[in-house]
Amino acid sequence: MPYRPRGILKVRMMSRAVTPIAIAGLLSLGGCMQARIEASRELPTRITGEEGVVVLAKPQLEGAGTEDGFMDCVGDHLAGGKGGLRVHGNDAFVDAMFPWFEPGTAPSRPEAVAALLAHPGVSERVAASGVRYVVWLDGATRRTDGGGSIACGAAPGAAGCIGFGWWEKESDYEATIWDLREAKSAGSVGTNVTGTSAIIGAVIPIPFIARVQGTACDRLADQLHRFFVGEDITATNATPTEGVR
């Protein structure tokens, strides 16, 4: 009589049948990613040691804005390592500039910065902060697809899982850079990363995780750093598939 584990907990990721051929194909993709970078420059930029950068979420008329964790990740990467930039805390900057950079009152276009700086005391506050460039971040990480199922169970002297599940995520972000001194847009950098993760139930669940959002942060921050120090920026349609990170 075949073994039937008791206490089965079955998790269905989607009501989609996954054939053996599909499983084999997805296993080859599990934990892999594809990334695309787009960049454009409108003004020359070569930031000095006395000038700073602040990373803010682009104001949204509706829906959720860019995640705080992603903004912190980009800011930490810009400030860290050799050649790190001066990155002003976003909450501290918004508080110091209150109410001019609150979501409901922030300038909607760089040309409006000139009028903003004409308000009494505003230019002095900007100068005191040391911030020259504002990076407006827009985007999110979303689950776009998935399928399969995993069943786990336990019985006296035995326990385990069987099955296969997979899911795909996409991280799509764009950074628009404003030069506060020139009151103009200096350019933009965007990244799109897609990745397929998988989990195999072979007694012990074995995960293959695609670090989609982390890779998007790394790519975007690297391009922003190159942008600010005046190096060439790249724009590519695709990069080779990467392994688990």
Q: What percent of the chain has pLDDT over 70?
A: 80
Distance of CA 131 to the CA centre of its chain: 23
pLDDT band at 160 (very low <50, low <70, confident <90, very high): confident
What integer best gives the mean pLDDT of the chain?
81
- Domain-located, residue 95: yes
Instruction: Say if residue 154's pLDDT is above 50.
Output: yes
- Domain-located, residue 115: yes
Residues in the chain: 245
- Domain-located, residue 233: no
Q: Quick one: average pLDDT of 95-119?
A: 88
Contact call for residues 226 and 232 (beta carbons, < 8 A): yes
pLDDT digits (tens, 9 = 90+) for 25-64: 544 544 578 999 999 999 999 999 899 999 999 886 555 5
- Domain-located, residue 245: no
- Domain-located, residue 145: yes
- Domain-located, residue 123: yes
Instruction: Say if residue 14's pLDDT is above 60.
Output: no
Instruction: Domain count for the chain, please give it.
Output: 1
What is the distance between the alpha carbons of residues 48 and 177, in angstroms, rounded to a whole number?
Answer: 16
pLDDT digits (tens, 9 = 90+) for 204-223: 888 888 899 999 999 999 99
The more confidently predicted of residues 55 and 238 is 55
Considering only CA atoms, which of 235, 233, 215 is closest in space to residue 224?
233
For every residue of 130-171, DSSP letters joined together read: TEEEEEEEEEEEEEEEEEEEEEEEEETTEEEEEEEEEEEEEE
For every residue of 53-81, DSSP letters joined together read: EEEEEPP-SSS--S-HHHHHHHHHHHHSS
Q: Domain of 92? A: 6-23+31-228
Contact call for residues 148 and 165 (beta carbons, < 8 A): yes
Give the pLDDT of residue 207. 85
Instruction: Say if residue 162's pLDDT is above 50.
Output: yes
Beta strands in the chain (DSSP E): 6-12, 32-41, 52-57, 86-88, 131-155, 158-179, 184-208
Contacts of residue 74, defined as CB under 8 A and 6 or more positions apart, other chains included, come to: 55, 135, 137, 175, 217, 220, 221, 224
pLDDT band at 241 (very low <50, low <70, confident <90, very high): very low
The more confidently predicted of residues 189 and 207 is 189
- Domain-located, residue 135: yes
- Domain-located, residue 238: no
